[in-house]
Structure 1
Amino acid sequence: MNKRQEFLTETRYANFLAYSEETKIFWKTHTFESDSPEQEASLRAAHFKSVVQRKLFISYTSGVDIHLLVPMLEELISAYEECQRKLSISEGVINISPLAIDDWPDEFEECVQVFSLCVLLNRTDLLKRFAKLVDDANYKGEDTLYEDLLRKRLPDREDVDEWYHDVYTPLIEAIYADEKTEASQLLADYCEQWYAAFSHAPWHDSHLNGDEGSYVGYWAFEAGAIAFLYGIDDSKITHSVYPRDLVEYARAHDG
C-alpha cells in the first residue's frame, strides 16, 4: 500500500475487503431482524450502502489511484438511491431523505462528503442524482455549506445565511473571507478541529481497535472541495484529514 493515512495497516485493509465480499454471501441466505418485509428490505439496503461507502473510503485511504475511485462512487450513488427507495416504502414517506442531516452532524458530514467526492472526481451527473435525494426531502435552501458545495456545479441553488451545525462555521467563513490569507487560515482551522468535533460519530476513534476494528479513514473531503471550488490557497495545510492529492486531481481535471 501507498497509504494516505498512517493508521491503516495491510491486515486491516485485507480484512475489510474480505468482509465486503463475505457479507454479500451471508445476507443472501439470512434476513435482518425486522417488523416487516419492507423494513427488512430497508435495513438491507442501508447495510449495503454502508459497505460500499466504507469500501470507497478505505480504498482512498489505502492509496489506490484516484481514477479507480470513480466506479466506486457510481456504485455508491446507486446504493443511496436504492436505500432511499426502500426507506420510502418502509416508512410510507415518498420523498424521505436517506440521511437526517439536520438532526445528526455525522449524517450531515456523510452528505457533504459525498457531495465533495462528486465534485472532486468531476462527476456532476452523480452530484445531481445524489443532491436530488436530499433536496426532495425539503433540505434545499436550509444550510449554507450544503448550498455552497452545490452552487458551482448545479443551477438554481438557494442563497442562505444559516447552517445546521457549528462545526462547519470556519469552513463557511473561509468561503466568504475578505482576504485570501484569512480564507487559508480558516480552512486550516477547520481541518485542525474537524476530528475532535465528531467525537460523537460512530467512526470516531475506530483506529484504536486495530486490525479487527472498523477504521476506513478520517477525511474532511468537504474542506478539499471548498478549496477547489472557491480558489482557496491550501498550500500550507498539512493536516492528515485534508485530501490533498484528491484536490490536486480535481484541479488537473477541471474543465
Structure 2
Amino acid sequence: MNIRQEYYSESHYRSFLKEYDEAIEFSKTNTFESDSPEEEASLRASHFQSLLLDKIFACYTAGEKIDILIPLLEELIEKYETLQYKLSILEQSPKISPLAIDDWPDQYEECVQVIGLCILLNRIDLLKRFVVLIDQAGYVGDDTLYEDLLKKALPNRHDVDQWYHDVYTPLVQAMYVDSKEKSSELLGEYCNQWYDAFIQAPWHDNHLQGERGNYVGYWAIEAGAIAFLYGIDDSKIDHMVYPKDLVEYARNNKSTV
C-alpha cells in the first residue's frame, strides 16, 4: 500500500477496519446510554457520522485509490443529514446545524474538510446538500473562508471580510495577495501551523496511541481545496498534512468547478 502519512501503517489500517466493522455490528443490538429516546437517536447518529468520517480519512491515509472515497462521501452526507434531523428533534430546533462552526475550531475544521472533500472529489451535488445544513442555521455570510470555498461552485455566495478562527488567517490571505509567490508561501505557512493550532481538538496527538489507537491521519483538506480553486502553486508544498494526491485528482478530473 502507498501509505500517505508517516505515522500510519498497513497493520494500523487493518486494525481500524476490523474495529469499524465490529462497532457497526455492536450498535445493531446495543443502545447508547441516554436520558431519552431522542437523545439516544442523536448520539447514535453522531457516532455513525463520526465513524464514517474517520473511515474516509483512514482509507485516504492508508493509500487507497481515491475513487474509493466517493461512495463513502455519499454515505457521509446522508449521515450528516440524519444527524441534523435527530438533533433538531432533540433540541426542538428545526434548523440546527450539525456542526457549531463559530464556537468550536475543530467543528469548523470538520466542516471545511467535508466541503473540501466534495470539491476535490468533484461532487458539487453533495456539496449543495451538506451546505444547506450549515446555511440554514444562520452561518451564511459570516466567514470568509467558508464563503470563498463555496463561491466558485455555488451561486449567490457572499463577499465578507471576517472569519471565525485565527488559524485560517494565512489561508485566507493566500487567496487575496497579489504575488503568486507570496500566495504559495502563505499556503505553506498555513500547513506548517495547522496541527499545532488544534491542540484542543479531540484527535490531536492520536498518532501517539499506537496501531490500535484512534489515529486515521491529519489532513488540511481545505488547504488543498483552496489551492485547487484559486490556482495556487503548491509544487513546493511538501508538508504531511497537505493532501497533494487529492489535489492532483481534482486537477485531473475537474469538470464542474
Same fold (TM over 0.5): yes
2:177 is matched with 177
TM-score, normalised to structure 2, is: 0.98
Q: Say whether 1:244 aligns with 2:244.
A: yes
Runs of 4+ residues deviating >4 angstroms: none
1:208 is matched with 208
1:19 is matched with 19
1:162 is matched with 162
1:248 is aligned with what amino acid? E
CA displacement, residues 98-147 of structure 1 (integer Å, 9 cap, x when unaligned): 00100000000000000000000000000000000000000111100000
Instruction: Report the alpha carbon displacement of residue 11 of structure 1 after superposing the two structures with TM.
Output: 2.0
1:189 is aligned with what amino acid? E
CA displacement, residues 213-243 of structure 1 (integer Å, 9 cap, x when unaligned): 1000000000000000000000000101000
Instruction: Report the alpha carbon displacement of residue 212 of structure 1 after superposing the two structures with TM.
Output: 1.6
For these two proteins, the number of residue pairs brought into alignment is 255
2:144 is matched with 144
**CA–CA separation in structure 2 for the residues paired with 1:146 and 1:134:** 10
1:71 is aligned with what amino acid? P
RMSD over aligned CA atoms reads 0.6
**CA–CA separation in structure 1 for the residues paired with 2:182 and 2:226:** 14
- What fraction of aligned residue pairs are identical, expressed as a percent? 65
1:109 is matched with 109
Instruction: Report the alpha carbon displacement of residue 12 of structure 1 after superposing the two structures with TM.
Output: 1.6
SS at match of 2:235: coil
**CA–CA separation in structure 1 for the residues paired with 2:64 and 2:212:** 21
1:30 is matched with 30
Structure 2 stretches of 5 or more lacking a match?
none
Instruction: Report the alpha carbon displacement of residue 24 of structure 1 after superposing the two structures with TM.
Output: 1.3
**CA–CA separation in structure 1 for the residues paired with 2:212 and 2:205:** 13
Q: Say whether 1:226 aligns with 2:232.
A: no
2:233 is aligned with what amino acid? D
Instruction: Report the alpha carbon displacement of residue 40 of structure 1 after superposing the two structures with TM.
Output: 0.3
Instruction: Report the alpha carbon displacement of residue 93 of structure 1 after superposing the two structures with TM.
Output: 0.4
**CA–CA separation in structure 2 for the residues paired with 1:154 and 1:175:** 18
**CA–CA separation in structure 2 for the residues paired with 1:27 and 1:69:** 23
CA displacement, residues 138-187 of structure 1 (integer Å, 9 cap, x when unaligned): 01111000000000000010111000000000000000011101100000
**CA–CA separation in structure 1 for the residues paired with 2:243 and 2:123:** 17
1:179 is aligned with what amino acid? S
Instruction: Report the alpha carbon displacement of residue 28 of structure 1 after superposing the two structures with TM.
Output: 1.3
Instruction: Report the alpha carbon displacement of residue 77 of structure 1 after superposing the two structures with TM.
Output: 0.4
Q: Say whether 1:5 aligns with 2:5.
A: yes
1:135 is matched with 135
**CA–CA separation in structure 2 for the residues paired with 1:117 and 1:178:** 27
1:118 is matched with 118
Q: Say whether 1:253 aligns with 2:253.
A: yes
**CA–CA separation in structure 2 for the residues paired with 1:239 and 1:11:** 23
**CA–CA separation in structure 1 for the residues paired with 2:75 and 2:26:** 20
Instruction: Report the alpha carbon displacement of residue 68 of structure 1 after superposing the two structures with TM.
Output: 1.0
**CA–CA separation in structure 2 for the residues paired with 1:189 and 1:207:** 22
TM-score, normalised to structure 1, is: 0.99
